[in-house]
Structure 1
Amino acid sequence: MTPAKIARSIPARLLAASAALGLLAACGGNERPTSELPSAQINAIGVNAYLWRAALETLSFAPLASADSAGGVVVTDWYANPSNPDERVKLAITILDQQLRADALRVAATRQVRQDGAWVEAPVQAATVQKLEDIILTKARDLRRKAMSS
């Protein structure tokens, strides 16, 4: 089995560990370690670095509840726009692949509105989630273009 096939069969969290072990194993011999993975897949965080950075930059307006670069998950805490304090949102971004592709990104949003002093679940328009995905993907592509031209 080629290294690329092995890499695709291993969960993203274990890819970095297996790559490090492979490099360590190759240190004793005269052979240089090689990789068949495209450079867009090789990174130290376990997911596509451009998508990861674009997600963090896009969500920079909201407080982060958690960010797991190995698993590719970013979750915000509740965010209320100061101009509309009776509505708040919580966002979760999941990066599912090491490739920069539209289907490698999943955005989930939860929205609440204040009614009679209590927060009540409210629907999120699908267009809102789609627009956020588009923003992240566009930013990730711009980051990649900028990195390639440098």
Structure 2
Amino acid sequence: MIRFALPAALLLALAACGQGRYVEQDEYNDPRNRGGERGSILGQGGLILFGSSTARSGTGEAGALGVNAFLWRGTLDTLAFMPLVSADPFGGVIITDWYAPPEAPDERFKVTAYILGRQLRADGVRISVFRQVNSRGQWVDVPVTADMGTALEDRVLARARELRVQSVQTAGR
């Protein structure tokens, strides 16, 4: 049994190494990266690993983010001061861990951000903020002001626009 399992495992590992490549800084919106056979070990119509982004996005872009790259990066940059628990670039969900500001150690915040599509639009990001206060050694949920999530969304959109302008300027050089 081991005599057949070891060579099979080695062949599988070797086959998985065939299409490795480095990811460039902003290749997700680069039209030169459309098409190809990425995502398939056996070529066109072969064994597809982890699904196909062409079915998800309907754009024919294989190997791309499931969401807008500028909104994704803008959200990560905006929430960089908070520790991350989860970041799913294909589903477009970013979840932070609890963060206590140094000026208010008895208060903590948690954020969940949703990137809603592939276009850079004002309604392309939704942010939910959760707040707790320490009351006699127990963390208790308290309401958040209605504009806190909107303020974070505005910061994300501003950062995404900056990134978009930088990419256009870089492409023009």
| Partner residue, 2:10 | none
Larger RCO (CA within 8 A; separation ≥ 6): 1
Residues in 2 aligned to 1:123 and 1:133: alpha-carbon distance in whole angstroms: 18
Residues in 1 aligned to 2:69 and 2:92: alpha-carbon distance in whole angstroms: 10
CA distance 1:105–1:68, change in 2 (3 Å): same
Counterparts in 2 of 1:129-144, with a 5 A limit?
129-144=149-164
Of residues 117, 120, 127 in structure 2, which corresponds to 1:107? Answer: 127
TM-score (norm 2): 0.63
| Partner residue, 1:92 | 112
Of residues 28, 46, 51 in structure 1, which corresponds to 2:66? Answer: 46
- Structure 2 residues without counterparts, runs of 5 or longer: 1-33, 46-57
Look at both structures and tell me which one has the larger radius of gyration over its CA atoms.
2
Residues in 2 aligned to 1:45 and 1:98: alpha-carbon distance in whole angstroms: 8
CA distance 1:42–1:105, change in 2 (3 Å): farther
Q: Give the drift of 1:43.
A: 6.9
Give 3-state SS (helix, strand or coil) of 1:102's partner.
coil
> Does the 8 A contact of 2:39 with 2:63 survive in 1?
no
> Does the 8 A contact of 2:116 with 2:124 survive in 1?
yes
- Structure 1 residues without counterparts, runs of 5 or longer: 1-15, 27-35
RMSD: 2.6
Residues in 1 aligned to 2:86 and 2:140: alpha-carbon distance in whole angstroms: 23
User: Which sits farther off after the overlay, 122-131 or 43-52?
Assistant: 43-52
TM-score (norm 1): 0.73
